[in-house]
Chains A and B, each alone.
Chain A
Amino acid sequence: MPAGSLALLTQGAMVSLLLAAGAIAGGTLLAILLAAMAFSRLAAVRVVYRVYVYIVRGTPLLVLALILFYAMPALDLRTGPYIAGTLVLIIYTGALFAEVFRGGVLAIPRPQWESARSLGLPPLAMFRKIVVPLVTRYTLPSYVNVCVMTVKASSVLSIISVWELTLAAREIIERTFAVFTILGLAAAFYFVMCFGIDRLGRRLERHLALRGFAGVRA
């Protein structure tokens, strides 16, 4: 195995994890905003949501990344590749998370809404005490799924000069041509990261289920 590869790949994995974490955090916040738009009373706002999700889910991230990244300076956003890379991922995962949250809200059975309404709960309390707890439980499995996808999707950012695990592997391969060992190692890193997220999600799910939730899974 070529010298120094393990160190480089570990560094690359850290960067990928950081990018994914930023994208997941940003994407979740954006998704909450987007999901709110999806349920807004104004038809125009809902259409904007549908078009946004339609375009982001309809085009490969690779294509999206290139168009957004090189259009950004034109909009004079002086950002380094890492910030721009995270922004691109946030725009991408934001749409995926929004669809997950929307599904979660729709999964709340009508009677639950009615009992909440019958108590005359104000919107903020409705959101904090009923919508958020229920949606988190309903959407946890698909939420974890999107997190795993985000980690793997970050590999596309190498096209816009973001150095992360995949680019690290490709650079070593270009130099040493030890393709399968390096690709295998990179895949192992991805497996550890993604499988870890999956286990974390499972444990969180069991923890929430223990606290008495026997609701329907979205």
Chain B
Amino acid sequence: MNMGPVRQVLVAVVVALLLAFSLPAAAQEKSRMDVVLERGKLIVVTLTTVPPFAFTDEKGQLVGFDIDIARLVATALFKDPNKVEFVSVTAEGRWPAIESGRADMGVGGTTTYPDRAIRVAFTRPFIDSGISVLVGKKSGIKSIKDLDQDKYTIANLNNPQMADRAKRFFPKTKVLTFDTPAAQFLAVKSGRANALQIDTPSAEYWAAHNTDEMEVLPGLLGASQNNGIFLRTGDFKWWLWLDTAVAEMRTGSWYPQYSEIYHKWFGKNPPPQKFYIQQ
């Protein structure tokens, strides 16, 4: 057996490792905020396939709740909502885009989880988003408890949080994993799966657009979740400003703009600005 390929493999591994170690160790001397202000434009990484948070309309424009939030941030920085450039990626492309410095911050239905926070920093949530279950009407499933039988199958997205939830709430249900929300939806539509789990706003969006076939089960899977802006870790100045901006949207001077965007995408008012002020 000639040793050609084995020798090559060793060389290949060495080259690959060299590539790995040459990766970003850029020093943290200048805050990303100064870079953004100097550049005069905000670069935001986002998914493009998660309605109503971030998706493309008929004319191919990137629209959605998270997109408008990002434009609001740009307005604060440059007094112009168009001083923003969106970099679209698929799910797993979000983290390297931030780490490599290709984008200043990220949005797009990105839920905050402790293990994710090791690699990227999150601001406080700009929207609470629970996880709901969407079922086909013909499946006869009326509640989350009904779903917990081995004759049913659920379609998950390819992230570990969905897998954990499935184990916790319906351990007996069989699980399929897909890499895009549309594939999840299609699995239910084609009968490959009886239900799927997705952020509540998305579930409501789909149910609204497929009223005859789909419905959202009452109740959330676990507590409400936090979708926030994510950025590179260790950049206190940039994180502090973004976090303050989000705080101002939900409870401060930007509440009017925030609730306008919220109403536009979810058809109802956001939670009250202050717990002691009733609508």
A adjacent to B, CB under 8 Å = yes
CB-CB under 8 A from A55, the residues of chain B are 12, 15-16
Tell me whether B102 and A70 are in contact (CB under 8 A). yes
Enumerate A20-72 residues with CB–CB distance to B below 8 Å.
47, 50-51, 54-55, 58, 66-67, 69-72
Nearest neighbor of A168 in chain B, beta-carbon distance: B60
A74-B22 Cα distance, complex, nearest whole Å = 8
- Whether, in the assembled complex, B125 has its beta carbon less than 8 Å from a beta carbon of chain A, the answer is no
Of B25, B55, B180, B182, most buried by chain A (CB within 10 Å of CB) is B182
The size class of the interface chain B forms with chain A is 35 or more
- Shortest CB-to-CB span from B86 to chain A, Å, is 9
Tell me whether A174 and B51 are in contact (CB under 8 A). yes
- Whether, in the assembled complex, B133 has its beta carbon less than 8 Å from a beta carbon of chain A, the answer is no
CB-CB under 8 A from B160, the residues of chain A are none
- Shortest CB-to-CB span from A143 to chain B, Å, is 26
Given the contacts A159-B93, A161-B93, A179-B186, A70 and B12 also touching, CB distance less than 8 Å? no
Q: How many A-B residue pairs have CB under 8 A?
A: 95
CB-CB under 8 A from A124, the residues of chain B are none
- Whether, in the assembled complex, B129 has its beta carbon less than 8 Å from a beta carbon of chain A, the answer is no
Tell me whether B88 and A11 are in contact (CB under 8 A). no
Q: Residue A161 contacts which of B22, B50, B97, B99 (CB distance < 8 angstroms)?
A: B97
- Whether, in the assembled complex, B11 has its beta carbon less than 8 Å from a beta carbon of chain A, the answer is yes
Instruction: Tell me the interface secondary structure of chain A in the complex.
Output: helix
Enumerate B16-33 residues with CB–CB distance to A below 8 Å.
16, 19, 22-26
What 0/1 pattern do residues 82 to 96 of A give for CB contact below 8 A with B? 000000000000000
Tell me whether A3 and B15 are in contact (CB under 8 A). no
Nearest neighbor of B101 in chain A, beta-carbon distance: A73
- Shortest CB-to-CB span from B235 to chain A, Å, is 15
Given the contacts A54-B8, A170-B49, A175 and B89 also touching, CB distance less than 8 Å? no
CB-CB under 8 A from B38, the residues of chain A are none
- Shortest CB-to-CB span from A174 to chain B, Å, is 4
- Whether, in the assembled complex, A111 has its beta carbon less than 8 Å from a beta carbon of chain B, the answer is no
- Whether, in the assembled complex, A172 has its beta carbon less than 8 Å from a beta carbon of chain B, the answer is yes
Tell me whether B88 and A67 are in contact (CB under 8 A). no
Tell me whether A66 and B189 are in contact (CB under 8 A). no
What 0/1 pattern do residues 134 to 165 of B give for CB contact below 8 A with A? 00000000000000000000000000000000
- Whether, in the assembled complex, B115 has its beta carbon less than 8 Å from a beta carbon of chain A, the answer is no
A171-B55 Cα distance, complex, nearest whole Å = 7
Tell me whether B58 and A2 are in contact (CB under 8 A). yes
- Whether, in the assembled complex, A75 has its beta carbon less than 8 Å from a beta carbon of chain B, the answer is yes
Residues of chain A whose beta carbon lies under 8 Å from any beta carbon of chain B: 2-5, 7-8, 11, 47, 50-51, 54-55, 58, 66-67, 69-75, 81, 158-161, 163, 167-168, 170-175, 177, 179
A-B contact pairs, 7 of them (CB 8 A): A4-B60, A55-B12, A74-B23, A74-B26, A161-B87, A171-B55, A175-B55
